[in-house]
Amino acid sequence: MEKQQKSSHVVLVMVNFQGHITPMLQLASILHSKGFSITIVHPEFNSPNPSNHPEFTFISIPDKLTESHFSDKDAASPVWSLNKNCAAPLQQCLEKILHSLHHIAAVIYDTLMYSAQTITEDLGLLGIVLRTGSATTMLFYPAFSQLDEERIGIIIGIANTCFLDFVYEIKSPELEALQLKRLRALLSQNATKAMTEVRVAFANVLKRSSAIIVNSMEFLELEALSKVKQYFPAPIITIGPLHKFAPAVCSSLLTEDDKCISWLNKQAPKSVIYVSFGSIANIDKQELIEIAWGLSSSKQPFLWVVRPGMVSGSEWIESLPNGFEESVGERGCIVKWAPQKEVLAHAAVGGFWTHCGWNSTIESICEGVPMLCRPFFGDQYLNTSSICNVWKIGLEVQNLERGNIERTIKRLMVDMEGNGIRKRAIDLKEKAAFYLMEEGSTSCSLNMLIKRILSV
């Protein structure tokens, strides 16, 4: 594909959660390689390190977020506040860029920063949204798009009924396998006022943007994509998996501990269970203890990521039970943060116990690693359902009790019962590799995006 002139300028509006930073920087890197110059506008909290990306211009805007926003039980609260607090500074920032450059080819914003959509529209700019989750999650949003501000306060219960009606329209086997009706109960649990408002905003931003970029592969979510395309008028551009197009992007907020790679080098092929619950999910002390004993009695080597502060009330792993370290010896390796993509691609790794964040899910699929699923919140439940019921490449850990953990690890990694799961995971990796190699599908999506950007 022809490189564009450096004068075509794209502004990316990023939200600084790890699972959102990574795909946004990967997209930035891809567009930069095609000749676009890139400015990244982001809130102040969790700022990425600009010196890792000298090719981009970074602009930070005030977000007025405090610790209390993140400790709020309502997961929507920081997102809601972020949009409220960042709207005016973002508008000023875009006006300033426009004033100095005279032209912005497109503004690409994360769905979480939905306030960018109206600002972009008001400034007469092309607005494109990046979905960092699966295409399947978009099935949820049509149910929320009809709600106006006034009705949101009283509509929470009804919103879930709307969703149920929507679910009844689903006829295809793949979508039925997702067990969306079961997930409805989880939606009701989360239906606070802020959450409902945020969902309405997501639905509207997806409806009103000029294009929707999804970090996925067509073949992986074929039926969901075809359903979603009926509801959203904007073209849906599946450019994924982004980490395969921009593998060198350095985006970790925490320092990756490489010593786990030398430890992996000493382990037998496909023997290691890699355990990581991503960048946000927390566990309590008792859960840490159950996981520790479950891993110990599974007899499988394990690489376990425990982030500092991930265990409520602990600095790091000081709550590990007495006798645990002696019982596992060299068979276990615990780190604060791992080079995950390298870990998943390592020959010694035979299973991934994950919280099923979308990035982790798609990274695991690309390396053919079967998964144990322990979702914590949001789209992780839906991803679990795709992994266990649609692609059938994983098992759900139903409860965090040591005996159950031990049995589920064995079922996934060694038992005959896991043969089919392990084989399907390899098959899916091969399909993904073929999809990536194939002339057409991916470069066609990228061309579509570039055409869209240059169309204004």
Residues in touch with ligand UDP (CB under 6 A):
17-19, 22, 252, 276, 278-280, 305, 337-338, 340-341, 357-360, 363
Q: In terms of CB distance, is 17 or 109 closer to ligand UDP?
A: 17
Residue type, 20: H
Among candidates 383, 385, 395, 382, which has minimal Cα distance to 422? 395
State in angstroms the smallest separation of the CB of 76 from ligand UDP: 15
Q: 281 by DSSP, 3-state: which?
A: coil
Count the Cβ atoms, other than its own, within 10 Å of residue 210. Answer: 21
Q: In terms of CB distance, is 36 or 45 closer to ligand UDP?
A: 45
Q: Measure the CA–CA gap between 127 and 208, rounded to whole angstroms.
A: 9
Q: In terms of CB distance, is 7 or 282 closer to ligand UDP?
A: 282
Q: Can you state the angle between helices 193-208 and 115-122, rounded to 10 degrees?
A: 40
Count the Cβ atoms, other than its own, within 10 Å of residue 339. Answer: 16
Among candidates 47, 49, 39, 52, which has minimal Cα distance to 8? 39
- Answer for the pair 422, 6: CB distance below 8 angstroms, yes or no: no
Q: In terms of CB distance, is 19 or 321 closer to ligand UDP?
A: 19
Q: Measure the CA–CA gap between 355 and 372, rounded to whole angstroms.
A: 8
Task: For residue 40, list its beta bridge partners.
Answer: 12, 58
Q: In terms of CB distance, is 125 or 356 closer to ligand UDP?
A: 356
Q: What is the DSSP letter of 237?
A: E
- Show the tokens assigned to 308: 């500092």
State in angstroms the smallest separation of the CB of 235 from ligand UDP: 24
Q: Measure the CA–CA gap between 152 and 147, rounded to whole angstroms.
A: 6
E-state strands within 248-321? 272-276, 302-305
- Answer for the pair 369, 347: CB distance below 8 angstroms, yes or no: no
**Strand order, beta sheet including 394-396:** 332-335, 302-305, 272-276, 349-354, 371-373, 394-396
Q: In terms of CB distance, is 26 or 160 closer to ligand UDP?
A: 26
State in angstroms the smallest separation of the CB of 368 from ligand UDP: 16
State in angstroms the smallest separation of the CB of 25 from ligand UDP: 11
Q: In terms of CB distance, is 333 or 453 closer to ligand UDP?
A: 333
Q: In terms of CB distance, is 106 or 280 closer to ligand UDP?
A: 280
State in angstroms the smallest separation of the CB of 131 from ligand UDP: 12
State in angstroms the smallest separation of the CB of 256 from ligand UDP: 6
State in angstroms the smallest separation of the CB of 5 from ligand UDP: 32
Among candidates 403, 404, 421, which has minimal Cα distance to 412? 421
Q: In terms of CB distance, is 91 or 276 closer to ligand UDP?
A: 276
- Answer for the pair 79, 197: CB distance below 8 angstroms, yes or no: no
State in angstroms the smallest separation of the CB of 356 from ligand UDP: 8
Q: Is 378 left (phi over 0), alpha (psi -120 to 50) or beta?
A: left
- Considering only the C-alpha atoms of the chain, give the largest distance between any 2 of them, rounded to a whole number of Å: 66
State in angstroms the smallest separation of the CB of 403 from ligand UDP: 27
- Show the tokens assigned to 113: 């920063």
Q: In terms of CB distance, is 48 or 357 closer to ligand UDP?
A: 357
State in angstroms the smallest separation of the CB of 342 from ligand UDP: 9
